[in-house]
Amino acid sequence: MREFVYNAAPARILFGSGTRQRLPDEAERLGLERLLVLSTPDQEAVGRSIAEILGSRATGLFSGAVMHTPVAVTEEALAVIAASKADGVVAVGGGSTTGLGKAIALRTGLPQIVLPTTYAGSEMTPILGETEGGLKRTQTTAKVLPGTVIYDVDLTLSLPPSISSVSGINAIAHASEALYARDGNPVIELIAQEGIRALAAALPRIVDEPRNGPARADALYGAWLCGLCLGAVGMALHHKLCHTLGGSFDLPHAETHTIVLPHALSYNAQAAPRAMACIASALGSKDALSGLSALLERLKLKRSLAEIGMPETGISRAADLATANPYWNPRPVERDAVYELIRRAYAGEAPRADF
C-alpha cells in the first residue's frame, strides 16, 4: 500500500478562448472595484488592452515587472498601489508579472487575478522567489496564491515559437520534479504525466505552425497541469539550481530551466527509477533522458549556460550556493557532483549519470 497526503490548493480556473472578456464579471464576483493591471515593459500593450476590458474598474497600469521579482521593483509597484488605492491586482503575462503580483499580495493581502500569456505555471503555485543583493530567496505561503486564473488561449497565439518552447520545457521541469518529490502522491503522478504528455505533443506543432489554436490550447492545458504539480509538492535539486543560477547571474528563467533539466534528471536518474519511467512514458520514449533530448533537439533549443550569459568563473560559486542550503532531493546533494553537473550544463555537454 502506498501511503500519501494530498492537499489541493484552492483556485478558480476559467479556461477557453476569449475568456479574458469575462474579467469584469470576475472582478464583480470578487467585489473588486479598483484593480491595478500589471505587466512587463514588453507586454504593456497587452496590459492596456486588459485595462480597457476592465473599464472603470481599472485604476491604471504598472508595466515594470521583470525577471526574478526584484524587491526594488515590488516597492515601486507598492507605491503605485498606495497612490491609486487599488483593492486588487490583475497580472497579465508570464512568470515575471505573476511573481510581482504575488509579491504585492504577500505584503498587502490584496486579491489577485492572473491572465497567463506563457506556459510558466507559477500562477498555480504558492511559491514566490524574490531577488535582492544578487541572491534569490524562495518561500512557500498560501498568502501568494491567486484567487482566480483566467486562461485565454488567444493570449498565447502571438508568443514566439522559441519562447513558447523554453516556457513549455520550464513547465515540464515542474512536473518532472514532482514525480520524485518527497511528498509526492498518486494524484500528482497522474497530473504530472498528463501535463508532460500534453506539452511534449503540442510544442513541436507550435514550432511548425505558431498560430495553431488546438496546439496552443493543448500547451496551455499542459502548463496548467504542470503548474498544479509545482504548487502541490516540494521542489528538489533542479529548482534549487535554477533559482541559484537565475538569481545570482541574472540568467533568463525559462532558458535556464531548459538547459539544466536534462542534467538534473541524469543526476537523479538512478535514485528515482519510478519517476524516470513515468517521464519516459509521458514522452513516448524508451527512457526519460533520450526522450527529453529528442524533444529538445526537435525544438532546436540552446543547450549550454554559456550561451545564455553565465560566466565560467561562476560555476564554483553556483555550486557553493546550491549546496549551502539544499532542497530535499532523492539523491544526496554533494558539492563535487553538483559542480560537475553545472560544469556540464555550462559547456553544453550531453547529460550523463556517471557522477
In a domain, 5, yes or no: no
In a domain, 4, yes or no: no
Angle formed by the axes of helices 186-208 and 288-299, to 10°?
30
Last residue of a domain, one of 128, 156, 184: 156
- The grid cell for 210 is 505558431
**Can you give the pLDDT at residue 136?**
86
In a domain, 343, yes or no: yes
Does residue 71 sit in the same domain as residue 90? yes
Closest of 171, 292, 163 to residue 220, by C-alpha: 171
- The grid cell for 345 is 550544463
In a domain, 176, yes or no: yes
- The grid cell for 218 is 493543448
Give the angle subtended at the CA of 36 by the CAs of 31 and 38, to the nearest 5°. Answer: 130
Last residue of a domain, one of 156, 172, 189: 156
Task: Give residue 124's domain range.
Answer: 12-156
Does residue 259 sit in the same domain as residue 198? yes
Does residue 275 sit in the same domain as residue 313? yes
Does residue 223 sit in the same domain as residue 273? yes
**Can you give the pLDDT at residue 6?**
76
Does residue 117 sit in the same domain as residue 178? no
In a domain, 205, yes or no: yes
In a domain, 7, yes or no: no
The residues of the chain scoring below 50 in pLDDT are none
**Can you give the pLDDT at residue 55?**
96
Residue type, 236: A
What proportions of the chain, in percent to the nearest 5, are helix, strand and coil? 60, 10, 30
pTM summary value: 0.93
Domains identified in the chain, total number: 2
In a domain, 241, yes or no: yes
Does residue 142 sit in the same domain as residue 180? no
**Can you give the pLDDT at residue 354?**
73
Cβ atoms within 10 Å, residue 206? 25
Does residue 91 sit in the same domain as residue 185? no
Last residue of a domain, one of 122, 156, 190: 156
Q: What is the CATH number of the domain that holds 95?
A: 3.40.50.1970
In a domain, 227, yes or no: yes
Residue type, 97: T
